[in-house]
Amino acid sequence: MSLEDPYSILEKYLSAESYFVVGREFTRVDALEKALGRALFTEDYFVKYVYGNALFVKQVLSPHPHARIKGLHLKEALDVSGVRAVVTHRDIPGVNQVGYALPDQPLLAEGKVRYVGEVVALVAAESWERAVEASQLVRVDYEPLPYVLDPLEAMSRSDVLVHEEAGSNIAFRTKVRKGDVERGFSEAEVVVENEYRTHHQDHAYLETEAALAIPDSEGRVTIIGAAQHPHLARDITARVLGLPASRVKVVVPYLGGGFGGKDDEGPLTVAKAALVAYLTGRPAFIVYSREESIKVHPKREATIIRYKSGANREGKLTAIDVTIIHDTGAYANRAPFILWRATMHASGPYEVPNARVDGYAVYTNKVYQGSFRGFGNPSVQFAVERQMDLLAEKLGLDPVEFRLKNILRPGSRTLTNQVLDHSVGVGEALEKVSAKSGWSQKRREYSEYNKKDGRWRRGIGVGVAWHGISTSRGVPDWSNAVVKVEKDGSVTVYTGIVEMGQGSPTSSHVQIVSELLGVPPENVRVVFGTTEAPDTGATHASRGTGIGGIGVEVAAGRIRERLARLAGDVLGVEPDKLVFRDGRVYQRDNPERYVRWVDLVREAYAKGVELSATGYFFLPKGKFDDTVGQGFAYPAFSYIVVVSEVEVDTETGVVRVLRVWPALASGRIISPVQVEGQVEGAVVQGIGYTLYEQLVFDEKGSILNADFTDYVIPTVMEVPEVEKPIYVEDVYKYGAMGAKGVGEMALIPIPASIANAVSHALGVNVTRLPITPEYVLELTGSLKR
């Protein structure tokens, strides 16, 4: 293998004895401009540079959950002064098809509308006010159709079909068949069976969806827009416009939050702005109002999960039997992938010899389901972890002790029979965090305290979760980046990964380059989120650093190999004995023997050593058999444990989360400060999901609380004390510097740990989210007070 082979580069830096930049204190390079309010987001480009010259785009939404479109009357809207276009499906030059997993979704409604909020037309005018006015004058003849809102009803009906051509409201099915479930249950000493319900969640990013499209006279379009995968946004836009992808350029500036929502809606936002710009020849700007954002864009899945599990006298799980139903809403979008992930994680991070899991993604006439931090996993881990507590209770075991008997270890087989040959630190994480949080003692103390029957009750609960990183099974996944060293020694990196607050391109990418080339971070610039860079894949599935960073590591590693050989010649030292650090390349055991980085670069240019490199890496994957749901599910799993402490007011039903102890087994921690931020943010977003946030639908499936007055998200007052995370660095052999992924992790076990803590506090069985005061009072109605 050559020294520049990606495998040898990844192996070489996986377990270095010490790092100078990786894993150290590091200030992300976008910190200052963001703190000072200078950083530019999509709308800033519009306001600063294009205002007065661009058309405003306003969307016309369907008021019906299900209706046939009989006619479109645009004249009145077009007659409003300043209106330049009213765009409907009839005007789309390319293909009106934007379905992600299944070809079931138009960009602009055609033939039918399938939920209240579906976009029917775009109105473009010289001012926002005119666009809004005209949007109310677009007349659509609708023939209302019968509709279904409840997924169970939708599954059983064939007379009302959201998509006739599908022949059923079941959009997609998944399954796992492992071992012999009947035998497993016959060997069980205790069996627990429950039905769990979880609800939608809105991403509530501060920045709503936005895109600014600028056409040129050659028929090309450039779009600055809020999306999580510039190349996907480009490809979808090109398809809608009927153009080759190379004629569409997408640049993603800083995002005011994505959380998965802009992975789904971003490309559609970009395509809408591009469509208007392409048709009118004018720059076009779209920004969703908060109401539009909440009504239009996909939500976290709402679920019904039926879960039966059994364990034997030794405290080992013997079988699980699970049915997962996702309320997919009007379009499949990513539902097949979300459901797939939920299904393949349905055991939790435990060994289960016998399993049957069935998943159903069901169409209804509501806003559709989409990506949201955790991607189908928080809801199913909630069910898993309630079951684990209930089984432990029946066996008379401590919840942590019971989990440790079943936890995945190196060499374990997962639910899908994938052998975990390395990178499994979850057991250690669980042991450590239980010790640090004082688990056993608190569990006993609070049980005693609650016996006093006072108004306030205390509880402590644990949630353990696993999360397959990157994309699933055989779905191709790769990393790609370009690194080039400029003549003055500064370095430019090109990647498709975006910056949405999480900081991958502005911290870990910079650290990797700085580490490998010994260049100070201020001399490294990362050009991110652009189709001018190679396609790095999406910034989702917590893959930004662990997978996105591989390309950066490989490219920088290649340049380092070349420069090490050159420096070796210059200094008369073995290339492998050189250290790259602080703008110098020196002999490890004789730092006085060195060449300055800038001189080395000059020498390379003089000698014809190429100083730019591509880092491409195609992730090796195994086989998966869909007929039984067995085989290689994910390249590796990230793990997390959280212990949450709560206080419940039995009079008002209010739950307060007091303290949270996280422990991560997510491979190498490249930027501890960033990771702490990610953990804290995800904990708070998880608390919102678990306790407060709730979309309210009326009898037509219309969202009643599409605003931040009535859609309640946590404020700083609800933020608990979040302890510094414990890190078990169970490195992943193909991850960038051994990293797996952190971004989504801390949200995943939060519902479980809070539900377990509330159940502990009240001695009740929490089976539903959100745990609102009303629900708590319903549960405690049976308590004697």
- Where does this chain bind ligand MOS (CB under 6 A)? 228, 258, 260, 263, 371-373, 375, 540-541, 744
Name which of 660 and 682 has its Cβ closer to ligand MOS: 682
What are phi and psi for residue 227, nearest 5 degrees?
-145, 165
Shortest approach of ligand MOS to residue 105 CB, angstroms? 19
Question: Is the Cβ of residue 149 or residue 250 nearer to ligand MOS in the bound state?
Answer: 250
By C-beta, is 199 or 373 nearer to ligand MOS? 373
> CA end-to-end span of the chain, whole Å?
72
Q: Nearest distance from residue 539's CB to ligand MTE, in Å?
A: 5
Q: Using CB under 6 A, which of 259, 331, 363, 597 touches ligand MTE?
A: 259
8 A C-beta contact, residue 115 and residue 367? yes
- Residue number with CB closer to ligand MOS (360 or 375): 375
Residues 541-580 that bind ligand MTE (CB under 6 A): 541-545
Find the shortest distance in angstroms from Cβ 749 to ligand MOS: 16
Give backbone dihedrals phi and psi of 625, rounded to 5 degrees, phi first: -105, 105
Site string for ligand MTE, 645-684 (x = CB under 6 A): ---------------------------------x--x---
Which position among 174, 504, 587, 690 is part of the footprint of ligand MTE (CB under 6 A)? 504
Shorter beta-carbon distance to ligand MTE: residue 121 or 682 = 682
Residue 491: which residues within 8 A CB-CB, separation 6 or more? 483, 484, 485, 513, 517, 519, 523, 524, 525, 556
Nearer to ligand MTE by Cβ, of 543 and 581: the residue is 543
Residue nearest to ligand MTE (CB): 544
Query: Hey, what are 170's tokens?
Result: 């079941």
| CA dist 348 → 14, 391, 748 (Å) | 28, 14, 11
CB of 669 to ligand MTE, least distance (A): 12
The entry of ligand MTE, ligand MOS, none near residue 678 (CB within 5 to 8 angstroms by kind) is ligand MTE
DSSP, residue by residue, 463-526:
EEEEEE-SS-TTS--EEEEEEEE-TTS-EEEE-S---SSS-IIIIIHHHHHHHHH---GGGEEE
| Distance, CA of 496 to CA of 670 (rounded, Å) | 20
Q: How far is the CB of 34 from ligand MTE (least distance, A)?
A: 11
Residues 6 or more apart in contact with residue 380 via CB below 8 angstroms: 303, 305, 324, 342, 345, 346
507 binds, among ligand MOS, ligand MTE, none (CB under 5 to 8 A by kind): none
Tell me the two tokens of residue 480.
């790609």
For ligand MOS, give the closer residue by CB, 88 or 504.
504
> In this chain, which stretch among 129-137, 256-264, 293-301, 563-571 interacts with ligand MTE, using CB under 6 A?
256-264
Task: Please identify which residue in the block is written with the tokens 């911290």.
Answer: 507
- Enumerate the H helices of 14-91 as residue ranges: 31-35, 42-45, 75-79
Compute the least distance from the CB of residue 451 to ligand MTE, in Å.
41
Beta-ladder partners of 124: 57, 85
- Rule CB under 6 A: say whether 300 interacts with ligand MTE: no
Q: How far is CA 156 from CA 150, 159, 359, 701, in A?
A: 10, 9, 15, 19
Q: Based on CB atoms, which residue is closest to ligand MTE, 203 or 621?
A: 203
Residues sharing a CB contact under 8 Å with residue 539, sequence separation 6 or more, in sequence order: 228, 229, 258, 263, 497, 498, 500, 502, 504, 529, 548
Q: Least CB distance from residue 744 to ligand MTE, whole Å? A: 5
Each residue 506-545 as x (binds ligand MTE by CB under 6 A) or -, in order, gives: ---------------------------------xxxxxxx
Per CB under 6 A, contacts with ligand MTE among 743-782 are: 743-744
Shorter beta-carbon distance to ligand MTE: residue 354 or 504: 504
Other CB atoms within a 10 A radius of the CB of residue 629 amount to 26
Burial class (CB in 10 A: 0-12, 13-18, 19+), 535: middle
Alpha helices per DSSP H over 628-747:
672-687
Which of ligand MTE, ligand MOS, none sits in contact with 587, Cβ below 5 to 8 A by type?
none
Min dist CB 729 to ligand MTE, Å, is 17
Q: Which spans of this chain sit near ligand MTE (rule: CB under 6 A)?
A: 257-260, 373, 500-502, 504, 539-545, 678, 681, 741, 743-744
